[in-house]
Chain A
Amino acid sequence: MSKILIIDDDHQVCRTLGKIFTRMDHMVELSLTLKEGIDKVSTDDFDIVFLDVKLPDGNGLNAIKHIRGCSTAPEVIIMTGEGSSDGAELAMRSKAWDYIQKGGSHTEFKLSLARALEYREQKLSKIQNMPINKGAIIGQCRQILNCFDQVSSAACNDLPVLITGETGTGKELFSRAIHNNSKQSQSDFVVLDCTSLPEYLVESTLFGHIKGAFTGADSDKIGLIKMADKGTLFLDEVGELPMGMQKKFLRALQEKRFRPVGSKKEINSDFRLISATHCDLTEMVDKNQFREDLFFRLFSINIHLPPLRDREKDIQSIALSRMEQKSDLAEKNTCTMSQDFLEEIQMYEWPGNVRELINTIDLVCSKAGYGSKLFPHHLPEHIRASNIKKKFKTLKNKHTQPPDPFAKEKMHQSKLPFKDHLEKTKSAYLQDLLSGTKGNIKESCKISGLSRSQLYRLMQQYDLKGI
């Protein structure tokens, strides 16, 4: 028996689906508002959430990530009265399971539910079966647990992995975790830092060269690809790999054969590739700064690491672990954290992510003296200044407007291309206008300044019916 939550402001939809799913032997709960639904997901363990898009207190699409981030990471099935390709795309990008139009038959809902449950069962059994050695990675939040699941499945095969995430989120640590849990773990983990090498050095470093291949090539040199034979080659900041080198590298990746610089003979290397970047490679592909064919090859498995600001629950454990580790290495007493200190580090945004947190902990421990209790006063000034600003802002917002739990998702929406954003705004305006006038065309024209024909044309264009 699975636990299902239906979030929809339409009583009829809730009742009908509730009956169908109960008959299928599932436990069903209903919520008529987004807030109520979110509260339920946060406090109870659901397997599947059926989520409406247009809810009285918000847009369901903006809540998907939040729901998926809850402890049981329920699968989300979006249901909508008016399907749109933008909405469907946003839903899929937010990792919704399915996107269904309400007008369809009940069978469609039943089928989608059955498939989602089958997938979930399989996913959970895999997680239980494959414990992984996490190495130095600390984290218990849902996003990081999801990343561990991906590490676990990546370790089981030889496909290239692309790890993305902001600077300092631990891309190299995760790549090592994949290597250490893979069949390549007995061989070397070979690093190529694409940002450190001057362009002229990349080819000979990767592929090696033979004596006399160029001025200064006094002897044969084995390249990193060969050194990674039967092991893992880690390309750090792969977005910096020179364009001229990408084609040759793609061939080496596909064929597992390549020619060292100056050599006539090809050599083999059975390496597994893990690459990492903080750049948006899709954008680079669009701008012709990165080869599309290589991108698709690298992207076979993508693990996106969340920024530390989205892992508030992990901040304490990372800080504690670092304090213990540091005191062990320094053979000195461990520091402890006051409640105020903990609150301050949980409030800060950590633009440099885990790396910045670790450096800060090292610094404050040293400043306070090993074995001391840490207080906010020990923190660097810029952290305290940023926090105090944030506190004032929050206080101000509290008096002016209710907090918006999906502000981040909305920010992402504002990253749409200008044209798309404009279209969305127009559509939203018209919806508001028509709902405000209860579909009264004359009044709508009066308010908007549009002529009747203009309004009808726009309604047709944006697929709006008089409300």
Chain B
Amino acid sequence: MKLILFVHQNASSKGTTFRKLIKQNFKGLEIETFQTFNGFKTRLKQVSLYDQEIFVLFTDSKDRLKELTSLIDLLEGKRILLILPDDSNATTSVAHHFFPRYFTYVNDTYDDLCAVLIKMTQQEKKIKIVSNNNGGN
């Protein structure tokens, strides 16, 4: 189980706060952070050896969200949580193209997002235990 965090290097101070928050709350998890689109793109092209990855994508501007949509093919089938710049119809409509498991907004507290992440990671642990008990990999 791994968290892949994308927070652009030029993101506002909220990006830094968010990154710190995730690192503090999910100390037991391996977290890989990307701060540039190129770095993130390269990572998406690689094969992951992890059974399950959760992608948390922080987009604090419409332009950044738009740029992220150029990677949508590489994100196909991934489990995505999105942080959106605003709650306008145009923004949420773009967000739905990522088929996110959950999304919230930059100006929200991230309590709910953390609760979702906790549930998802616990779920994974359960699946893993069941799969091991069944003799799976």
Footprint of B on A, CB under 8 Å? 136, 172, 188-191, 193, 195-198, 200-201, 205, 216, 218, 221-222, 227, 329-330, 351-352, 355, 358, 362-363, 365-366, 380, 382
Given contacts A201-B116, A382-B137, 18 further A-B contacts (CB under 8 A): A191-B96, A191-B99, A193-B101, A196-B101, A196-B116, A197-B116, A197-B119, A198-B115, A198-B116, A222-B92, A227-B92, A227-B96, A329-B45, A352-B136, A355-B77, A358-B77, A363-B49, A380-B137
Q: Which of A198, A355, A365 contacts B47 (CB 8 A)?
A: A365
CB pair A189 B96 closer than 8 Å: yes
> How many angstroms from the CA of A177 to the CA of B119 in the assembled complex?
29
CB pair A196 B123 closer than 8 Å: yes
- Tell me, rounded to whole Å, the shortest Cβ–Cβ distance linking B63 to chain A: 21
Q: Hey, which chain A residues are within 8 Å of B109, CB to CB?
A: 216
Q: Hey, which chain B residues are within 8 Å of A362, CB to CB?
A: 47
> How many angstroms from the CA of A100 to the CA of B137 in the assembled complex?
47
Sorted from nearest, which 6 A-B pairs have the closest CB atoms? A366-B47, A193-B101, A188-B96, A196-B101, A362-B47, A382-B137
Binary flags per residue of B120-137, CB closer than 8 Å to A gives 1, else 0: 100100000000000011
Q: Which of B47, B96, B118, B137 contacts A190 (CB 8 A)?
A: B96
Asked if B15 lies at the interface with its beta carbon under 8 angstroms from chain A, I say no
Q: Hey, which chain B residues are within 8 Å of A222, CB to CB?
A: 87, 92
Q: Hey, which chain B residues are within 8 Å of A365, CB to CB?
A: 47
CB pair B115 A201 closer than 8 Å: yes
How many interface residues does B have (CB within 8 Å)?
A: 28
Asked if B112 lies at the interface with its beta carbon under 8 angstroms from chain A, I say yes
Q: Hey, which chain A residues are within 8 Å of B49, CB to CB?
A: 363
27 chain-A/chain-B pairs, Cβ below 8 angstroms = A136-B76, A172-B99, A188-B93, A188-B96, A189-B96, A189-B99, A191-B99, A191-B100, A191-B101, A195-B120, A195-B123, A196-B119, A196-B120, A196-B123, A197-B116, A198-B115, A198-B118, A198-B119, A200-B115, A201-B116, A205-B102, A222-B92, A329-B73, A330-B45, A358-B77, A366-B46, A366-B47
- Tell me, rounded to whole Å, the shortest Cβ–Cβ distance linking B109 to chain A: 7
Q: Hey, which chain B residues are within 8 Å of A205, CB to CB?
A: 102
Q: Hey, which chain A residues are within 8 Å of B112, CB to CB?
A: 201
> How many angstroms from the CA of A14 to the CA of B131 in the assembled complex?
50
Nearest residue in B to A234 (C-beta to C-beta)? B99
Nearest residue in B to A167 (C-beta to C-beta)? B127
Nearest residue in A to B134 (C-beta to C-beta)? A351
Nearest residue in B to A364 (C-beta to C-beta)? B47
Q: Hey, which chain B residues are within 8 Å of A191, CB to CB?
A: 96, 99-101
> How many angstroms from the CA of A200 to the CA of B119 in the assembled complex?
12
> How many angstroms from the CA of A162 to the CA of B76 in the assembled complex?
22
Q: Hey, which chain A residues are within 8 Å of B74, CB to CB?
A: 329
Nearest residue in A to B73 (C-beta to C-beta)? A329
- Tell me, rounded to whole Å, the shortest Cβ–Cβ distance linking B123 to chain A: 6
> How many angstroms from the CA of A210 to the CA of B118 in the assembled complex?
26
- Tell me, rounded to whole Å, the shortest Cβ–Cβ distance linking B113 to chain A: 10
Q: Which of A136, A172, A216, A221 contacts B111 (CB 8 A)?
A: A216
Binary flags per residue of B49-91, CB closer than 8 Å to A gives 1, else 0: 1000000000000000000000001101100000000010000
> How many angstroms from the CA of A358 to the CA of B115 in the assembled complex?
30
- Tell me, rounded to whole Å, the shortest Cβ–Cβ distance linking A180 to chain B: 12
Q: Which of A188, A351, A355 contacts B136 (CB 8 A)?
A: A351
- Tell me, rounded to whole Å, the shortest Cβ–Cβ distance linking A260 to chain B: 14
Nearest residue in B to A228 (C-beta to C-beta)? B96
Q: Hey, which chain B residues are within 8 Å of A172, CB to CB?
A: 99
> How many angstroms from the CA of A272 to the CA of B12 in the assembled complex?
38
CB pair B87 A193 closer than 8 Å: no
Q: Hey, which chain A residues are within 8 Å of B45, CB to CB?
A: 329-330
Q: Hey, which chain A residues are within 8 Å of B46, CB to CB?
A: 366
> How many angstroms from the CA of A413 to the CA of B136 in the assembled complex?
25
Q: Hey, which chain B residues are within 8 Å of A195, CB to CB?
A: 119-120, 123
> How many angstroms from the CA of A355 to the CA of B102 in the assembled complex?
21
> How many angstroms from the CA of A188 to the CA of B74 in the assembled complex?
20
Q: Hey, which chain B residues are within 8 Å of A380, CB to CB?
A: 137
> How many angstroms from the CA of A130 to the CA of B123 in the assembled complex?
40
Nearest residue in A to B41 (C-beta to C-beta)? A329
- Tell me, rounded to whole Å, the shortest Cβ–Cβ distance linking A229 to chain B: 10
Nearest residue in B to A175 (C-beta to C-beta)? B99
- Tell me, rounded to whole Å, the shortest Cβ–Cβ distance linking B90 to chain A: 11
CB pair B115 A221 closer than 8 Å: no
- Tell me, rounded to whole Å, the shortest Cβ–Cβ distance linking A458 to chain B: 41
Nearest residue in A to B93 (C-beta to C-beta)? A188
- Tell me, rounded to whole Å, the shortest Cβ–Cβ distance linking B85 to chain A: 15
Q: Hey, which chain A residues are within 8 Å of B119, CB to CB?
A: 195-198
Q: Hey, which chain B residues are within 8 Å of A221, CB to CB?
A: 87
